[in-house]
Amino acid sequence: MTGSYPAILGMDLGDRSYKPNITSHWLGRRAYERNEIITLSIHFKNPVTGGSPWIGGDKGDTLKTVKRILPRGDHNSKLNEVLDEVASWAHSFTDSQGKLIPAIFGYLHELNGGWFWWGLNNKAQNTAQELQELYLYTVQYLRDQKGVHNFLYAYSPDKFASKDDYLKTYPGDDVVDIFGMDWYYASPSDLKTTLHRSVKDVVEMAEKRNKVPALTETGYMGDGINKFPNFWQEYILDILKSDPTTKRIAFVHTWSNHCYGNAYCEIWVPYKGHPAESAFVTNFYNDSLTILSNQLPQSIY
């Protein structure tokens, strides 16, 4: 639509087998050569049960999962196996000259929600303190034991009611670089005013701690882009432009369009020929506040 790649490439380390690793290294290297920012999430299986990241469908014993994978837990070695694979991926993520490529690692994203085994208020009965300990342990393990030094770490809760609520599971300034937030329009109760307040809170908290603020995931669930063709201007860009504080959000990241078969697709951004194409190009891409890959400075790294 625009003649440009996005400024952000997002990838997931949920599958760390040979072929996905080769693919993600290649895609990441190409993005790096275009001066783009690389972000990583990890939807990894429950180390205790082997079940899905989404706890609802897990038939195993998920009770106190996080406590059981921490040091002194009976499944800590299973967590370490995952982290060893992540470290191996990071050490192999290099450019054509063998130089390590930096990436933002969004570990335990949406940890204040109830849908992942690493979340709150679900049948795992994890506590906020246990989640803090898991985040801290992971960064220290990767950085200090495995020598991973090309990751920046993003802390990205889901929707939150206040700054105190946002910080409820915060693991500490020593192990967080990015103050993120995952915020989707999912129901009529999700208001633009709430997004504005949330972004402003994140920017203020990040700047107070000398961190980078980011909207680490956003979009309109249920293929909202099909119903609201000007979504990216009216529901995202106009919110960010509404005051000097929200303008200082560093980046906005969305999910990937994906088709599952049987003609069912999840659409987060328009594509060439989509009814929202013109509005996206005219009102979002062409706005002076937005920067895509072709506008990134050569010196960004």
CA distances from 198 to 8, 181, 251, 268 (A): 21, 8, 15, 21
To the nearest 5 percent, what fractions of the chain are helix, strand and coil?
Answer: 40, 15, 45
- Do 147 and 194 form a contact (C-beta atoms < 8 A)? no
Separation CA 148–CA 159 (nearest Å) = 30
The HSE-up count of residue 141 (CA atoms within 13 Å, CB side) is 20
Write the CA distances from 75 to 30, 72, 154, integer angstroms: 37, 9, 25
Helices (H) and strands (E) in the chain, counts: 10, 11
Tell me the catalytic residues: 110, 217
